[in-house]
């Protein structure tokens, strides 16, 4: 009797046999009702309605994906206020940052060591400024990873506008300003770690970069911590060095000179052709990965003791299989990094 009941239950949960009410609101939302505005009634009609719904979910997901991409590239907010673009937060921006960290760390480390060995005296100013951006105990080491924060800041500053281009002057000052903020915070931390930690904890839920900067500055002033800021000449020298280093080590960008007037040229920071090709391919692949999921209007497919076979009717919308070990997950991450390196 138990066996019979179990078989009856399996038949009941079968997607193609369960008799469930169709959610008319969902179908109406995606314009999937029948011509007479009634809900599908036969099992075949219900399954076809679910397939149509799932396709609509994918299309909605693609629309949302590109809306977020366009928002990250926009230089005006929804309210019309000026804002910084933020492409480094996109899926392609994050992969490019991950890919660029190691080569930029190595280049920075090599430069820094040679600068203080006397081989790059013309870059002494830049090297001295960089020394202020890492903990004192790391200055004498030769570990490339000590530059991870600086490399990340530099990559983020450039990749925020990777597809919309920026002038060299703007990019240089943006990099240098962000690096100087890092040096200022490090000075705060090493001078008064207790107050620094308290301020950081208070700002943990805040997202506005400018607001955070003002609060940190206020806390430093309140505790009479005087930080000597960099001159514009120093910022330009360091920013230019880092920008050129990023271009030569990663291959993500190129510096293009154009003539706005007869005797006046402007240098733009632009993505290389290979970088743009890779970004478009990445977007094409990623746009279908996050459909706008809606409740199913029929019972889900049976799982059949397999956590990856059930659920949605269309196979590509079902849960993707994940690596069962940390090693497999690391391998997939490395594969993603290798794809960028190979493509560029």
Residue with tokens 């105990």: 137
Give me the phi and psi of 49, to 5 degrees please.
Answer: -65, -40
d(CA 117, CA 142): 13
pLDDT of residue 170: 94
Task: State the pLDDT at residue 331.
Answer: 46
- Give the model's pLDDT for residue 10: 43
- The DSSP code sequence of 265-299 is EEEEEEE-HHHHHHHHHHHHHHTTSS------SSP
Alpha carbon of 216 to those of 83, 112, 220, 227: distances in Å? Answer: 22, 28, 6, 12
Residue 184's pLDDT is what?
A: 95
Q: Which domains does the chain have, with CATH numbers?
A: 1-71 (no CATH), 87-282 (1.10.1320.10)
Distance between CA 144 and CA 257 in Å, rounded?
A: 32
CA-to-CA distance for 173 and 254, rounded, in angstroms?
17
- The SS3 call for residue 214 is helix
The answer to whether 271 touches 261, Cβ cutoff 8 Å, is no
Whether the CB-CB separation of 299 and 18 falls below 8 Å is answered with: yes
Would the pTM of this model clear 0.85, i.e. be above it?
A: no
pLDDT given for residue 77 in this prediction:
62
Q: Which residues of the chain are modeled with pLDDT < 50? A: 1-22, 321-334, 336-337
Element (H, E) at 201: helix 193-202
Q: What is the 3-state secondary structure (H, E, C) of 57-70?
A: HHHHHHHHHHHHHH
Please give the Cα distance from 22 to 105 (Å, whole number).
57
In the prediction, which pLDDT does 19 show?
38
What is the Cα gyration radius of the chain?
27
H/E stretch holding 258: strand 253-261
d(CA 334, CA 316): 24
């Amino acid at each position: 009797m138990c066996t019979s009941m179990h078989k009856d239950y399996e038949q009941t949960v079968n997607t193609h046999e369960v008799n469930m009410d169709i959610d008319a609101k969902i179908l109406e939302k995606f314009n999937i009702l029948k011509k007479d505005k009634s809900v599908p009634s036969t099992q075949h009609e219900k399954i076809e309605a679910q397939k149509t719904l799932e396709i609509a979910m994918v299309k909605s997901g693609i629309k949302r994906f590109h809306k977020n991409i366009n928002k990250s590239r926009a230089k005006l907010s929804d309210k019309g206020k000026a804002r910084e673009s933020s492409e480094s937060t996109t899926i392609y921006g994050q992969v490019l940052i991950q890919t660029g960290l190691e080569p930029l760390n190595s280049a920075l480390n090599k430069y820094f060591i040679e600068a203080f060995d006397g081989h790059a005296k013309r870059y002494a100013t830049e090297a001295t400024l960089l020394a202020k951006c890492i903990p004192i105990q790391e200055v004498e080491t030769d570990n490339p990873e000590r530059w991870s924060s600086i490399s990340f800041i530099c990559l983020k500053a450039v990749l925020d506008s990777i597809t919309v281009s920026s002038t060299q002057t703007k990019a240089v000052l943006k990099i240098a300003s962000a690096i100087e903020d890092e040096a200022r915070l490090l000075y705060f931390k090493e001078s008064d770690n207790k107050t620094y930690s308290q301020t950081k904890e208070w700002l943990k839920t805040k997202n506005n970069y400018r607001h955070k900067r003002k609060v940190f500055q206020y806390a430093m002033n309140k505790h009479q911590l005087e930080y000597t800021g960099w001159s514009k000449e120093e910022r330009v020298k360091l920013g230019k060095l880092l920008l050129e280093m990023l271009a030569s080590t990663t291959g993500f960008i190129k510096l293009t000179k154009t003539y706005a007037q007869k005797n006046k040229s402007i240098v733009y920071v632009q993505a290389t052709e290979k970088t743009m090709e890779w970004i478009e391919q990445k977007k094409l692949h990623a746009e279908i990965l996050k459909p706008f999921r809606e409740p199913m209007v029929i019972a889900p497919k049976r799982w059949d003791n397999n956590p990856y076979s059930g659920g949605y009717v269309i196979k590509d919308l079902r849960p993707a299989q994940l690596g069962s070990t940390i090693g497999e997950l690391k391998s997939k991450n490395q594969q993603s990094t290798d794809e960028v390196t190979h493509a560029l």
